[in-house]
Amino acid sequence: MIYYIVSGLLIFACTIYYWLKTKYSYWSKRGIVSPPIVPVLGNFSSVTLQKQSYFDLFTEFYNNYADQKYIGVYIGLRPTLIVRDPEVIKQILIKDFSQFQDRGVSFTDSDIEQNLFFAEADVWRVLRHRLTPIFTTGKLKTMIPLVLKSMNGLLDYADRTIGENGVMEMRSLASKYTLDVIGSCAFGVEVDAFSEKENVYREIANRMLLFDSKVAIFRFINSLFPGLLKTLGVKSAQKDIFDFFVNMVNEIVKERFGKPKVRKDFMDFMIELKEQGRVVRRGDDHEKELEITNELMAAQAFIFYLGGFETSSGTMSFLMHEISQNLDIQERLHKEISEVIERHGGVTYEAINEMRYLEMVLDETLRKYPILGVLVRQSISPYTFPNSKISLEKGTSIIIPVYALHYDPQYFPNPLEFDPERFSPENKAKLPSCVYLPFGDGPRNCIGMRFAKVQSMIGLAGFLHKYRVEPTGQTKRHLEIEPKSGTLTSKDGIWVNVKRR
């Protein structure tokens, strides 16, 4: 009896061994280098166990294989290709975009993933086509009074809370401002962002990108058995968060449906689409119809809430950190802001567009601190890279290591140095294509990029006109990345000393 048990276990072990060996020989058979693996966890054990951020891990891969255009890695059992050559990246994002329209990051059967960021090609094309008008210059201008109201709320809050020593945590401060902006501009909701009371809107925003154990388990299962969760009809790991947006959308639709659209905000626009019934995207080789349900609207609300809150608050706080360390840059910035505000009689859309140095400082902040450290794409059909023998099967995942590219001295000399002059008009024009990607590139770049920059610049202009920031005893020169966050976040916060001018 024991003999049969031992024999069975040996056969099982050998079967698993050869199965794993076959799985993990995928890239070597194609002549692509691959880092050492941990069985089952692949190359991502440190990230899966939340010991290291994916920003740091991809940078390690990028630097360790500096002579390679491609690096083959395994997320669990799933083969994934890291592309580190800008010309190949350009091929993926722009020239052959039709082959790489999907992100391939949807892994449950949840309505929340039918949003503009996660949606697969057919749904994405309809959504992108219909949502683009929200972000025209004219539409952006109509939102400026709401953004200015939030800016004044930020300044009032800072005045109330600056203590004798003036020490403040910038991420917390900036997130109050961006939460107030997105609540007002997108949903017409008073989120009470500057209150010290417990706030459900702030709680939801803080949870959205924190990878707790439940989210980590979902991602791990998907890395071992891609498509299993979707096949089983499993919903999102954070269903309660999506339910929050569904309930919010239901209330807004109930209040506004069939009535004149007064606010002209994101929800007004979505309700107008809903009133049309189905929306159609024409002009491709086929038509795609999409019914605008409350759940679909909630999915868009989720991603706009996340994008508007997270991208700008992170960028603003990292910028404050850098100028607290570089006081010469801060003084030049203050001089420009003061002169432009005086010329225009206040912060206006036109004034912001004249603040060239502020935009340079913002662009350099986005280089050092891209909020999303990677871009993800998936081949929708078999594909062979031009002038190469490298071929991809349908459904192969591709990762573009944005954070690592931004720190490559080949493109950005002395990358640890904070130097806004990299983004002067003449220097920016010299940058190779697809080495600076804070908002992606090509047809599937960030649709809200201009809005994110404008809301950040308005908040920064108002704040830095009135205050200066300096290092404190808690300020770290080089910030440690939080490994549990899906976006670039400082592990210990961003602390500065705020002083009135």
* Closest of 154, 156, 94, 139 to residue 263, by C-alpha: 139
Q: What one-letter code names the amino acid at 33?
A: V
Reported in sequence order, the residue ranges of 19-118 that DSSP labels E, i.e. its strands, are 70-75, 78-83
Half-sphere exposure (Cβ direction) of 198: Cα atoms closer than 13 Å: 1
Separation between Cα atoms, residue 328 and residue 421, nearest integer Å: 13
* Closest of 419, 443, 431, 437 to residue 372, by C-alpha: 437
* CA separation, residue 135 to residues 27, 266, 451, 454 (Å): 41, 10, 7, 11
Q: Strands 375-378 and 397-400, how do they pair? A: antiparallel
Separation between Cα atoms, residue 7 and residue 150, nearest integer Å: 70
- Report CA 403 to chain centroid distance, whole Å: 12
Separation between Cα atoms, residue 483 and residue 230, nearest integer Å: 26
Q: Which two tokens stand for residue 95?
A: 């020239």
Alpha helices, DSSP H, located in 162-238 = 170-187, 200-207, 213-224, 228-231
SS (H, E, C) 243-295: HHHHHHHHHHHHHHCCCCCCCCCHHHHHHHHHHCCEEEECCCCCCEEEECCHH
Is 446 annotated for ligand binding? yes
DSSP assignment letter at 419: -
**Rounded-to-5 percentages of helix, strand, coil across the chain:** 55, 10, 35
User: Residue 189: helix, strand or coil by DSSP?
Assistant: coil
Residue 170's contacts (CB-CB under 8 Å, 6 or more residues apart) are: 316, 317, 320, 321, 469, 493, 494, 495, 496
Half-sphere exposure (Cβ direction) of 105: Cα atoms closer than 13 Å: 16
Q: Are 319 and 418 in contact (CB under 8 A)?
A: no
Specify burial of residue 110 (Cβ count, 10 A radius: 0-12, 13-18, 19+).
Answer: buried
Instruction: Return the exposure string of 205-243: e unless at least 16 CB atoms fall within 10 Å of the residue's CB, then b.
Output: beebbebeeebbebbbbbbeebeebeeeebebbbeebbe
- What residues are paired with 490 via a beta bridge? 481
Binding-site annotation: residue ranges: 446
Binding-site annotation: residue ranges for heme: 446
